[in-house]
Amino acid sequence: MAVIIDGKALAKKIRSNLKVECDELKKKGITPKLAVIMVGDNPASKVYVRNKSRACNEVGIEYQEYLLDENTRQEDLLNLIKKLNQDETVNGILLQSPVPEHLNINQAFKAITYLKDVDGFTPSSVGKLCIGEDTFVSCTPLGVIKMFEEYNIDLNGKDVVILGRSNIVGRPLIQCCLQKNATVTVCHSRTKSLEEHTKRADVIISAIGQPKFVTADMVKDGVVIIDVGINRDENGKLVGDVDFKNVEKKASYITPVPGGVGPMTIAMLMNNVIKATKEQYNENSTF
Ligand code: NAP
């Protein structure tokens, strides 16, 4: 039976450590503040945004939400980002995805000033990650790496297979795993014989958004499984990309859904807001 990686407990521990750091900043008269922009009223986004606001509350980060109308124009979205870039009381800016289709989300991400890019989506953050410099790392990949570290799962020389190549999960994960000296393979919807890759993997990180896609016959004994997926099954139950019940029997470590990567993503957002605040007040910062 696998060790279940308890993302919920680890995230709680991280939030409580961050609270100490946040209190120290407050003693110096600095209150970290996160601004969250949401366009339209996507139900899943509402849940994510609520969870982020709760986490801010727990850590002591001030939280301000900007709810924009479904029909908001690109220009108005960009103007709001510009205003928040200039607002010295705001330390982190997050644009909740998805946005309505008429908006250009990449252009909006690019408008966020680098030092407030707590989601790690701007080209500056992504570029720095690629050349191995300290920067804001996108929250889900950073959460996955923290899990490896906490559970002493060494990626050095391991065959890591990442399922999914999105800008927010799969792609930054490639860099994070390379930095840990893993041999990285990335699979996506055009990959031929995906099972050939998963069957030889020491570690599988799945972020494709397909319920129970990774089955026991696709993995080897002792594999480490990180399930990023958040999906609903045929009964409306929250499930990951992995057939947990059967894969657990073969794995050495596995993350559950819910209670695995999800809480870690939010804890890492809190981490990045504190990091951003410190860098903004550090006169010697080379960040
Ligand atoms: P996304 O942008 O839709 O990307 C999905 C990726 O999976 C794409 O690269 C796609 O390939 C690939 N893919 C889809 N179906 C596939 C298949 N049958 N075989 C192989 N590859 C396939 O998704 P995302 O935003 O990265 O999110 C992925 C999942 O993670 C979703 O369930 C999402 O809800 C979840 N998520 C969870 C967290 C968390 O905190 N736990 C955070 C973010 C996302 P192509 O590129 O070829 O289209």
Residue 157 and residue 248 in one domain: yes
Q: Which of 94, 112, 95, 17 minimizes the C-alpha distance to 60?
A: 17
Instruction: Specify the pLDDT at position 215.
Output: 98
Mean pLDDT rounded to a whole number for the chain: 97
Residue 97 and residue 191 in one domain: no
Instruction: Specify the pLDDT at position 181.
Output: 98
pLDDT per residue as tens digits for the range 238-286: 999 999 999 999 999 999 999 999 999 999 999 999 999 999 999 888 8
Instruction: Specify the pLDDT at position 20.
Output: 98
In a domain? residue 39: yes
Residue 104 and residue 199 in one domain: no
In a domain? residue 65: yes
Residue 91 and residue 173 in one domain: no
Residue 243 and residue 172 in one domain: yes
**How many angstroms separate the alpha carbon of residue 187 from the centre of ligand 1?**
11
- How far apart CA 205 and CA 272 sit, in angstroms, is 22
In a domain? residue 86: yes
Residue 248 and residue 144 in one domain: yes
In a domain? residue 13: no
Residue 145 and residue 237 in one domain: yes
- Evaluate whether 225 touches 255 at the Cβ level (below 8 Å): yes
Instruction: Specify the pLDDT at position 1.
Output: 85
pTM: predicted TM-score of the whole model, two decimal places: 0.98
**How many domains in the chain?**
2
In a domain? residue 242: yes
Residue 154: DSSP 8-state: -
The sign one gets for the Cα dihedral 53, 55, 57, 63 is negative
Q: Which of 232, 235, 228 minimizes the C-alpha distance to 254?
A: 228
Q: How far is CA 254 from CA 23, 75, 79, 187, in A?
A: 34, 44, 43, 20
Q: Which of 144, 189, 195 to mutate to test the pocket of ligand 1 (most atoms within 8 A of CB)?
A: 189
Instruction: Specify the pLDDT at position 33.
Output: 98
Domain that holds residue 256: 139-261
Which residue has the CA at smallest separation from atom 6 of ligand 1?
A: 164
Instruction: Specify the pLDDT at position 285.
Output: 86
Instruction: Specify the pLDDT at position 254.
Output: 98
In a domain? residue 160: yes
Residue 168 and residue 231 in one domain: yes
Q: What angle do CA 240, 244, 248 make, to 5 degrees?
A: 145
- CATH of residue 110's domain is 3.40.50.10860
Q: DSSP 3-state assignment of 114?
A: helix
| Regions of the chain with pLDDT less than 70 | none
Instruction: Check 6, 119, 241, 243 and give the catalytic one.
Output: 119
Catalytic-residue membership of 280: no
- How far apart CA 15 and CA 268 sit, in angstroms, is 9
The Cα diameter of the chain in Å comes to 57
In a domain? residue 274: no
- Quick check: CB of 263 below 6 Å from ligand 1? no
- How far apart CA 155 and CA 160 sit, in angstroms, is 8
- CATH of residue 224's domain is 3.40.50.720
In a domain? residue 16: no
> What's at 90, amino acid-wise?
V
Residue 86 and residue 153 in one domain: no
Which atom from ligand 1 is nearest to the alpha carbon of 165?
9
Residue 247 and residue 163 in one domain: yes
Instruction: Specify the pLDDT at position 286.
Output: 85
